[in-house]
Amino acid sequence: MTQRTTEGRGQRYDSVLDTIGNTPVIRLNRIAPDHVTVYVKFEAFNPAGSVKDRLAVSIIEAAERDGSLKPGQTVVEATSGNTGIGLAMVCAAKGYPLVVTMAESFSVERRRLMRFLGAKVVLTPKELKGFGMYSKAKELAETNGWFLASQFETAANADVHENTTAREILADFDGDRLDYFVTGYGTGGTVTGVARVLRQQRPDTRIILSEPSDAQIVGSGYVNTRNAEHQPTEGHPNFKPHPIQGWTPDFIPHVLQESIDNGYYDELLPVSGPDSIAWSRRLAAEEGIFTGISGGASLAVAMDVAQRAPEGSVLLVMLPDTGERYLSTPLFEGVAEGMTEEEMAISQSTPTAQMAKN
């Protein structure tokens, strides 16, 4: 094996925002079935650690272009975390104050990351679920004259995935087969934007969409009501709390509705929280790729598809973020802080620098 070297990117960047996108596609070498090839698109390589960096910069720059966001105006948005973290990075780089509304049930590290990046985080009661934090953000915008980012409705959401994520996929698989594209949904921007392009440029690629088995809101067939601005006016009756943070608010977003209406996915598969956690852990321990519960969920679905896929099939799985923003969630339950018995035995196998037994 030759020694690894690097040569640099051959360019310098004027802003952290210029480093968003062009995330790597990585082959899985140890956990995929032998008869197929599985790749992951690892969005943790974005500067704030998730796919939502794309959405955040797209929303802000679209609003700057059309004049709906004024210099120095406060931005407000409801988010389970990743969009808020992305917006906090973008607003910090561009000089906009940011207020985020977030249900108290989401992980503590997410709110601390947003505050570290300069945002204000307003918590809403967990029993009001996603619709509660959404309603709070809308109310704050209307009362204070703030700019509502509107990630669930804005055209800037799916557009950025059409113009960046999908184009990257086409380039990375240029001249090669791509049989399956597997993703979950939160706002629906990823699947809608990517599917617009794949349906035209790679029509043979089957698009697999997933949602939590405890919150099958698309699979139910019921579409929540919306107002003239495409904003939800109710929570979805089929929603139940689930551990896959970032997926399925308790309403079907307008951005996702485009995929539903246009048949942008070929199969809709449910996935359980325990399976999502198990595959995230396997991906880290056996491939060295550190993603969160939502990435584990997409991988769990992809592995189910892979088992029944024809020989030689190629699958691409979206991994939305890094696992570090799940430290206080069930993903890390059972991961010891002190030494395990096995680790203590290793320590005691040589005489120096031993810790005392608990």
Annotated binding site for pyridoxal 5'-phosphate: 82, 186-190, 294
For the CA atoms of 167, 169, 170, 173, the dihedral, rounded to the nearest 10 degrees, stands at 160
Annotated binding site: 82, 186-190, 294
Half-sphere exposure of residue 60: CA atoms within 13 angstroms, side-chain side: 28
One-letter amino acid at 212 equals P
Q: Where are the domains of the chain?
A: 16-50+155-332, 52-148
- Cα–Cα nearest to 320, from 265, 283, 268: 283
Low-confidence ranges of the chain (pLDDT < 50): none
- In our burial notation (b when 16+ CB lie closer than 10 A, e otherwise), range 86-99 reads bbbbbbbbbebebb
The correct CATH number of 52-148 out of 3.10.180.10, 3.40.50.1100, 2.40.50.100, 2.60.40.10 is: 3.40.50.1100
One-letter amino acid at 271 equals V
Which residues have a catalytic role annotated? 52, 294
pLDDT for 1 equals 77
One-letter amino acid at 206 equals R
Return the structure tokens found at 293.
Answer: 């519960």
DSSP assignment string, 144-204? HTPEE--TTT-HHHHHHIIIIIHHHHHHHTTTS---EEEE--SSSHHHHHHHHHHHHH-TT
pLDDT for 358 equals 63
DSSP state at residue 226: B
Report CA torsion sign: 329, 138, 249, 170.
negative
CA distance 213 to 267: 14
pLDDT for 20 equals 98
DSSP assignment string, 65-92? HHTSS-TTPPEEEE-SSHHHHHHHHHHH
Q: Is 9 helix (H, G, I), strand (E, B) or coil?
A: coil
- Cα–Cα nearest to 54, from 189, 154, 176: 189
Judge whether 79 and 150 are in contact, CB under 8 Å.
Answer: no
Residues 6+ apart with CB under 8 A from 123: 101, 102, 103, 104, 111
- Cα–Cα nearest to 147, from 227, 80, 90, 81: 90
CATH number of the 16-50+155-332 domain: 3.40.50.1100
**pTM, rounded to two decimals:** 0.94
| Residues facing 40 on adjacent strands | 26, 317
Are 16-50+155-332 and 52-148 in the same CATH fold?
Answer: yes
